[in-house]
């Protein structure tokens, strides 16, 4: 219930005096209220919860965060333990959660059936 | 969303993990507040990939789980009335009240309907002017603004047959209560990202300072969780306790001003009971005096209900981070999603449900053939 998911605005209109949009969630389309994000535009992404757009998703911030993670890797390459890095690289092509990687004692890969919301970005 | 794959990138996850492993020198206990984060952690095995010194404690951030039994029982009683159409999000249907749930009320003839949005419930009211339509208004700061807007719309449009059964809860007072508990082991918090999308980060600096705990606003993808842990551990190792926003792509410092204004208009802060935890001061919202006519508790007489919690259910301890779900004797035997003792097993964000869904085979608590996930927990 508290799940909030990212979606892309397809079109914007009005209903009962309220600003509404059709939002696409990876193929599923829903009617969404834009009263809390009145300046959201067609083509933009927003976090949507129970039929309400609550916050714009900022692509620039997403890019910066990913760049930070990349940078962390570069620092590791510069100052880290080469043997650990070699081990990490050996498993670098594996998918989460590193069934063949350096932390291989981990979880049950693929044991559980993914729930409906497996592709969603986030919750409450 | 085009960034979902990037935020689940195993190569970047390794880099974050490497950094956490390189940073940590002592044991630290962090609490992820949100049930959605708990599911990401258990589903991707993040707790098992972290250094042994870093323990993740699951917080009370599942709104379905913390809704008090008394409120569930009130919902069941209202939903049983022949003149009422009772609307709810799907994951409330199987939450056990005293002896039954909303699903059973419907099978006994009650008009219980699942809606995607509270605005859908308002439309039901418009389409059925001769019936009373009640919406079950539970949830944290993320759900409260949509429900507030719906009540505001009902008033604006003059819809008189709509009301809200309200049990909204607020995160910061819960964090405060956890920190004040004598048994508290939490040294840092991963704050719930989407709560902060609405509320901003302004409620946390004073709390972080007073309890000397780092608070890192954290998202819900695997890399978001790892980055939250990395920043919290880095602060703890340095002896710092500030508020950091690690989910900037969805959280502005000021939150959502339009939603905050609507919350201020429609609701007022009140003490709330949390299931399994008890009353936490100022931890909830109720309808403000201007909207009291839309309060289902005022419209229907539902007092004097005799509530009884199942003695075997230890979800209160799970919600406070005192017990891991699989440490409960009833886990996977007496208590399953099909036959739950408490809401933590049936909610799509419940910690017990996460362990049942992703860990039960590993823990040896399930028959080998059992592979159905959360069969009765429709996602809205």
Higher pLDDT, A118 or B343: B343
B54's tokens: 């870093």
Query: How does pLDDT run across A71-116, given as a tens digit for each residue?
Result: 887 766 666 666 666 665 565 555 665 654 434 444 333 333 333 3
Q: How confident is residue B136, by pLDDT bands cut at 50, 70 and 90? A: very high
Determine the Cα–Cα distance for residues B242 and B232; give it in Å rounded to an integer. 9
Instruction: Say yes or no for a CB contact (<8 Å) between B348 and A61.
Output: no
Q: What's the rounded Cα separation, in Å, for the pair A30 and A42? A: 14
Residue-level pLDDT at A97: 59
Q: With CB atoms and an 8 Å threshold, state whether A51 touches B34.
A: no
Mean pLDDT across chain B, nearest whole number?
A: 91
Cα(B112)–Cα(B365) distance, integer angstroms: 34
Alpha helices, H only, B285-350: 296-299, 315-319, 343-346
Flag whether the pTM goes above 0.90.
no
Smallest Cα–Cα separation from A62: which of A74, A44, A49, A35? A44
| pLDDT, position A83 | 66
User: Which region among A21-25, B175-179, B360-364 has the lowest average model confidence (pLDDT)?
Assistant: B360-364
Segment B163-189 mean pLDDT: 95
Per-residue pLDDT at A53: 97
Closest approach of chain A CAs to the CA of B84, in angstroms?
22
pLDDT at B118 over 90: yes
Model pLDDT, residue A78: 64
ipTM, two decimals: 0.89
The whole-angstrom separation of Cα A24 and Cα A42 is 11
pLDDT band at A120 (very low <50, low <70, confident <90, very high): very low
Residue A100 contacts B where some CB pair is shorter than 8 Å: no
**B61 to chain A, closest Cα gap in Å:** 8
**Is residue B236's pLDDT more than 70?**
yes
**Averaged pLDDT of chain A:** 74
Contacts of A95 (CB under 8 A, 6+ apart): B10
pLDDT band at B235 (very low <50, low <70, confident <90, very high): very high
Please determine, for residue B376, whether its predicted confidence score (pLDDT) is greater than 80.
no
List the one residue out of B17, B24, B42, B76 whose CA is nearest residue B187.
B24
Cβ A54 vs Cβ B197: under 8 Å: yes
Which 58-97 residues of chain A touch chain B by CB within 8 A? 58-59, 61-62, 64-66, 69-70, 72-73, 76, 80, 84, 88, 91-92, 94-97
């Amino acid at each position: 219930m508290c799940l909030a998911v990212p979606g892309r605005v397809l079109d914007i209109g009005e209903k009962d005096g309220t600003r509404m949009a059709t939002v696409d969630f990876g193929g599923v389309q829903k009617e969404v209220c834009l009263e809390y994000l009145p300046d959201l535009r067609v083509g933009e992404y927003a976090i949507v919860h129970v039929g309400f757009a609550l916050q714009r998703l900022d692509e620039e911030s997403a890019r910066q965060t990913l760049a930070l993670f990349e940078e962390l890797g570069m620092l590791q390459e510069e100052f880290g333990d080469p043997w650990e890095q070699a081990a990490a690289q050996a498993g670098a092509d594996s998918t989460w959660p590193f069934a063949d990687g350096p932390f291989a004692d981990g979880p049950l890969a693929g044991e559980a059936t993914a729930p409906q919301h497996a592709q969603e970005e986030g919750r409450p | 969303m085009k960034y979902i794959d990037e935020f689940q990138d195993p190569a970047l996850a390794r880099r974050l993990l490497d950094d956490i492993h390189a940073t940590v020198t002592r044991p630290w206990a962090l609490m992820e507040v949100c049930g959605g984060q708990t599911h990401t952690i258990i589903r991707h095995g993040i707790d098992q990939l972290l250094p042994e010194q870093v323990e993740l404690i699951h917080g009370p951030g599942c709104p379905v789980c913390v809704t008090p039994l008394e409120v569930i029982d009130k919902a069941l009683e209202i939903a049983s009335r022949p003149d009422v159409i009772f609307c709810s999000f799907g994951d409330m249907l199987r939450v056990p009240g005293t002896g039954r749930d909303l699903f059973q009320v419907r099978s006994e003839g009650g008009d219980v309907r699942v809606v995607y949005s509270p605005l859908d419930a308002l439309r039901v009211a418009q389409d059925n002017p001769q019936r009373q339509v009640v919406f079950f208004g539970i949830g944290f700061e993320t759900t409260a603004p949509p429900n507030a807007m719906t009540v505001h719309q009902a008033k604006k449009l003059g819809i008189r047959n709509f009301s809200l059964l309200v049990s909204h809860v607020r995160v910061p007072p819960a964090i405060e209560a956890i920190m004040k508990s004598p048994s508290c082991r939490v040294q840092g918090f991963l704050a719930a990202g989407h709560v902060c999308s609405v509320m901003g980060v302004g409620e946390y600096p004073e709390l972080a300072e007073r309890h000397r705990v780092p608070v890192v606003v954290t998202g819900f993808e695997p890399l978001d969780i790892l980055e939250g842990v990395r920043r919290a551990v880095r602060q703890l190792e340095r002896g710092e306790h500030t508020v950091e926003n690690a989910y900037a792509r969805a959280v502005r410092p000021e939150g959502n001003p339009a939603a905050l204004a609507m919350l201020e208009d429609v609701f007022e802060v009140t003490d709330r009971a949390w299931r399994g935890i008890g009353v936490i001061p100022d931890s909830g919202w109720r309808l403000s005096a201007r909207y009291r006519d839309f309060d289902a508790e005022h419209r229907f007489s539902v007092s004097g209900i005799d509530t009884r919690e199942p003695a075997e259910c230890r979800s209160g301890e799970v919600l406070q981070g005192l017990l891991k779900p699989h440490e409960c004797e009833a886990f996977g035997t007496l208590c399953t999603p099909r036959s739950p003792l408490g809401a933590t097993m049936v909610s799509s964000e419940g910690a017990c449900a996460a362990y049942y869904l992703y860990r039960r085979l590993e823990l040896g608590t399930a028959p080998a053939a059992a592979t159905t996930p959360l069969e009765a927990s429709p996602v809205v």
